[in-house]
Amino acid sequence: MPGALERYQLPPEDKERLEELRELSKRAEEGDEEARRELKRAVRESSPAVIARASDVSRRAQHMLIETAAGGSELTHYALSARLDVMRGEIAGDDPTPLEVLLTEQVVSCWLWITLLDALNSGQFWRGAEKAIRVGPSYLRQMVKIQESAHRRFISSIQALARVRKLQAKTPGIQFNTQINLR
Amino acid sequence: MALENRDGNLYYYRSVRRGDEVRKVYVGSGDLALIAYEQDVMSRAAEEHRRQEERHELEQLEALLAPVLEIGGAAEILARAHLIAGGFRRHKGEWRRARSA
């Protein structure tokens, strides 16, 4: 379903901006002063829109994960959505910057990802599960691999948010005029 | 697995792997050979079907998780760009304020 998945992907122009930011960051880190100046301009001018759209795509992707995890149960759907709202509020805190909002969305998405995988995997280890519905060892191995990757990403998303917060606190913030509503 | 016809008689053998070694194990002859052979063919088909379903399920799961990975990558690039533009640099894996900033 490539058409349906477009709603869950960044538009090509944002991917180009990201590539530009990645390249400029690399050159600036290597000591290229011109690249650093260019990066400052790019961060000021193009990153707020990319951040806003990435946050938006992230929320839509979470919705898709919630639908899958709920498996048609309205109660589970409601409970998971409410849980994510609480998490967003707790993690983002008061008056988060747009970048903090995006990083918060990433933490929440990874948590949801882990929850979904835990639910899918735990059924396989339940003693009462019929032999017929159990899956093969290669499938389980693959699932465990995905689960490990989800855990790694969850930890690194928390680290990224903490790092940005810690370092931003030491520097005068960059002013953005982008509003993202958390609730 | 092999169903062999020798002098009008059917003989059925299964291939059994033990480590690197594959051994041919005699199962039976005549009607028993035919029954065992058909049973094995059906089991293999069922196993292949199950594997196909698992592959399909994994593909669906990966498609579902792809946006999380994509946004994760984007968030990483944006966070790094903000920190470098804000005058920080990485030193042995640790972020520090650059002297020139």
What pairs with residue B10 in β-bridges? Answer: B5
- Using pLDDT thresholds of 50, 70 and 90, give the confidence band for residue B89: confident
Give the structural domain span for A22: 11-45
Question: What domain count does chain A have?
Answer: 2
The pLDDT assigned to A25 comes to 95
d(CA A155, CA A145): 16
Please report whether residue A134 resides in a domain: yes
Please report whether residue A50 resides in a domain: no
User: Taking the model in full, what pTM does it have?
Assistant: 0.78
Please report whether residue A5 resides in a domain: no
Same domain, A62 and A101: yes
What average pLDDT score do residues B77-95 get?
89
The pLDDT assigned to A77 comes to 94
Same domain, A70 and A127: yes
Give the structural domain span for B10: 2-97
pLDDT digits (tens, 9 = 90+) for B22-46: 999 999 999 999 999 999 999 999 9
The pLDDT assigned to A45 comes to 87
Same domain, A175 and A92: yes
Strands across the sheet with B9-18, in order? B2-6, B9-18, B21-29
- Using pLDDT thresholds of 50, 70 and 90, give the confidence band for residue B56: very high
User: Which residues of chain A register pLDDT less than 50?
Assistant: 1-2, 173-176
Same domain, A79 and A38: no
A65 contacts in chain B (CB < 8 Å): 64, 68
B89 contacts in chain A (CB < 8 Å): 29
Closest chain A residue to B98, measured at CA = A29
pLDDT digits (tens, 9 = 90+) for A58-89: 999 999 999 988 888 999 999 999 999 999 99
Closest chain B residue to A149, measured at CA = B69
Q: Report the complex ipTM.
A: 0.81
A109 contacts in chain B (CB < 8 Å): 68, 71-72
Same domain, A86 and A15: no
DSSP three-state, residue B16: strand
Helix (H) or strand (E) holding B1: none
Please report whether residue A85 resides in a domain: yes
